[in-house]
Amino acid sequence: MPNIIKKPLKYTTAFIKHNAVFCIAAVLALITCLIIPPDKEYIGYFDFKTLTCLFCTLAVVCALKNIRFFTILARSIVRKSGTLRTAVTTLIFITFFGSMLIANDMALLTFLPLGYYVLEAAKKEEWMAYTFILQNIAANLGGMLTPFGNPQNLYLYTEFNIPTHEFVSIMFIPFAAATAMILICCLFVSKEKIVLTSENNEHIPKLRASFYIILFALSIIIVFRVIPYWIGLVIILISLLIADRKAIAKVDYSLLGTFACMFVFAGNMSRIGIIKDILSSLLEKNTLIFSALSCQVISNVPSAVLLSQFTDNYADLLWGVNIGGTGTLIASLASLITFREYTSRNPGKTGYYVGMFSLFNFVFLVVLLFICSFI
């Protein structure tokens, strides 16, 4: 095959591989556009507040990541661990609580390499699959407590105009149950002594970090509707254009694109009578179970956007699309990130990883669905 064909094909394949959810969302949107041709109603599909809040949060997180804020802080915490169990537990809960602040996919991109570094330094690589899988589960479930912890939360919080205290109260029990389950899993890690030495003497640039933390606080204020979202967008955009333009370039635009495509897909689906009747009927019977099952097939963010058009039961929908992030590899974008990180470092253990991943994830899925069914 000539190079003139090989190179574009190679780049296209790589793009699809790294942006699978976006590509699926784009295809779905295009298909529905053939059924419902673009018209003036399309503009009403888009939730610009959600897109703005998501962009602001991602941009500031990228700025913090560019100064290695999270990595340096996490390494400092992990280095104080005296045993393998303490180190692994720390890694998992750094990812767990980190997902509340920087979203699940960004938490994994930041802390999975740290997990590899710790296990390699301690010569305990045999615990890598176990640690990575629990970090993945922690990232998917840790963000469920806050409106900005997971992208689907941010969308549903805005779409249904849910009061903050009600949002937290809805998610508290499954969050507490997930925390307890993850902690129990950590108890199975060996308690043997380890010594982690510092590779370098990196320090967090205090002035820059303080400025970015203020911007991050501003992005949270936007989410909580304290100031109009467009004001926050202008302030954060101008600030980062001056302080760190690379942060804006590194924003996960495929995630924003996924939301945009799913807004079109969901909006068009809601205008197709038979589809509207079928989905409304299924959600009326059991919103929790159907939304969780939907995540296993089309992932949690697309499920949240699509199903929100057909139900007002936002409590069960919130539970379903958060808990539904566990299960199959495609239930959450975060799971694909973890899979890619593990297999790139352990190319001969794909089957072993998928088997262990499926076992742990489906146990979490079933237990948490059972708990939510009785709330």
Average predicted confidence (pLDDT) for the chain: 88
Query: How much is the pLDDT for 212?
Result: 94
Least confident among 31-45, 49-63, 73-87, 151-165: 73-87
Query: How much is the pLDDT for 199?
Result: 57
pLDDT digits (tens, 9 = 90+) for 19-30: 777 888 899 899
Q: Decide if 350 contacts 344 (C-beta within 8 A).
A: no
pLDDT digits (tens, 9 = 90+) for 270-293: 888 888 888 889 999 999 999 999
Query: How much is the pLDDT for 172?
Result: 96
Closest CA to 95 of 123, 129, 136, 67: 136
Cα angle: 236, vertex 237, 239; to 5 degrees: 65
pLDDT digits (tens, 9 = 90+) for 77-101: 777 778 899 989 999 999 998 888 7
Burial grade of 370 (CB within 10 A; 0-12, 13-18, 19 or more): exposed
Q: Tokens standing for 278?
A: 């079928």
Q: Percent of the chain, pLDDT > 90?
A: 46
Q: Percent of the chain, pLDDT > 70?
A: 97
pLDDT at 46 over 60: yes
| Confidence band, pLDDT 50/70/90 cuts, at residue 254 | confident
Average pLDDT value for residue range 112-141: 90
pLDDT digits (tens, 9 = 90+) for 353-367: 999 999 999 999 999
Would you list the domain boundaries of the chain?
3-373
CA 290 – CA 241 distance, rounded (Å): 43
Query: How much is the pLDDT for 183?
Result: 97
pTM over 0.95: no
